[in-house]
Amino acid sequence: MFQGKSVAITGASGGIGRAVAEMFLAGGAKVAISDLTCPTETANAIGAVAFKCDVSEESQVEDFIDSASAANGPVDIFVANAGVGYGDEKHAAGASNKAWELSWKINVMQSVYASRVLLPEWKERGGGRLIVTASAAGLMAQIGSASYTVTKHAVAAFAEQVAFEHAHQGVKVNCICPQYVRTNMTKGFSMAENSPDGFLEPSDVANALKLAIEEDRFLVLPHAVVGEYFKHRAADVDGYIAGMAKLKSKLKAETLPIKS
């Protein structure tokens, strides 16, 4: 399905990024992966090429796209997957400015930096695909990290904007919005492990992405129930807030879903 496509994925030394890389490789794509430290071992294991890219730096995102293009041909599909979450301290505005700034740059601006390079190229070439790994927290506010909720909402909105602004140029966009997935990010979270909505594997997310691409859908909802919650919140935002307040009052601090 992706025969010969050049795919570039950030934050892909493991977790969802690695699973998405494997899904594209299985479909015949040529894949470049990157992370904070060069993920050579993962690349060798799966048959990708590896580069170092700190997505909080615009020049490094540009360099990654250049390197991926040199290795595999001009980038057809960019997956902005790297992400961070920092827990709130004491209250909803309690995370440090540093945590907010990093969340903003990594969770949001990496997609802007990549799009600045790729949208003009894709316009010339007649199309391309931007994929952002947002979160269910990008559709509905979640407990424990305001900076995560806000920045994931922002990147989901950016993805939506790109989707309609550039549809006529053949640009496609997918926005991946899972709840809990078994990766380094959720290691040790009892709330994730015991989630009544399911604790998915990274490969489940990659399979949901593949299906969404096949069916030409913007939203990728590996936990189908997220779609139901999203509709409920749109129909009754006060009910959603009341429900989350009730849930919050039941939680102990150590079970909060996001850690630094």
Ligand X SMILES: NC(=O)c1ccc[n+]([C@@H]2O[C@H](COP(=O)([O-])OP(=O)(O)OC[C@H]3O[C@@H](n4cnc5c(N)ncnc54)[C@H](O)[C@@H]3O)[C@@H](O)[C@H]2O)c1
Decide if residue 258 touches ligand X (CB under 6 A).
Answer: no
| Segment interacting with ligand X (CB under 6 A) among 41-49, 157-165, 177-185, 210-218 | 177-185
Do residues 8 and 75 make contact, with C-beta atoms less than 8 angstroms apart? yes
To ligand X, the closest distance from the beta carbon of 195 in angstroms equals 9
Cβ-count burial of 52 within 10 angstroms (0-12 exposed, 13-18 middle, 19+ buried)? middle
Nearer to ligand X, 14 or 27 (CB): 14
Query: Can residue 209 be called a binding residue for ligand X (CB under 6 A)?
Result: no
Q: Say whether residue 16 binds ligand X (CB under 6 A).
A: yes
Quick one: which of 11, 87, 128, 144 contacts ligand X (CB under 6 A)? 11
Q: Strands (DSSP E) along the chain, which ranges? A: 6-9, 30-35, 49-52, 77-80, 128-133, 171-176, 219-220
Q: Total number of residues binding ligand X (CB under 6 A)?
A: 27
| Segment lying near ligand X (by CB under 6 A), choices 23-31, 65-73, 179-187, 206-214 | 179-187
The region of 115-123, 167-175, 182-190, 232-240 touching ligand X under the rule CB under 6 A is: 182-190
Amino acid in position 148: Y
What distance lies between CA 179 and its chain's CA centroid?
12
Kindly indicate which of the ranges 12-20, 64-72, 156-164, 235-243 contains the residues binding ligand X, using the contact rule CB under 6 A.
12-20
- Count Cα atoms within 13 angstroms, Cβ side, for 156: 21
**Position 183 contacts ligand X (CB under 6 A):** yes
Q: Select from 25-33, 69-77, 161-169, 176-184 the region that touches ligand X (CB under 6 A).
A: 176-184
Site membership for ligand X, residue 149 (CB under 6 A): no
For the bound state, the minimum distance from the C-beta of residue 66 to ligand X, rounded and expressed in Å, comes to 16
Q: Is 186 a binder of ligand X (CB under 6 A)?
A: yes
Say how far apart CA 116 and CA 107 lie, in whole Å.
Answer: 16
How is residue 248 written in tokens? 């919050």
Two structure tokens written together for 15: 């977790």
Using the rule CB under 6 A, is 122 a contact of ligand X? no
215-234 binders of ligand X (CB under 6 A): none
- For every residue of 27-54, DSSP letters joined together read TT-EEEEEESS--HHHHHHHT-EEEE--
Burial 18-42 (b: 16+ CB within 10 A, else e): bbbbbbbbeeebbbbbbbbeebbeb
- Nearer to ligand X (CB atom), residue 67 or residue 183: 183
Q: Which residues bind ligand X (CB under 6 A)?
A: 10-11, 13-17, 35-36, 53-56, 81-84, 106, 133, 135, 178, 180-181, 183-186
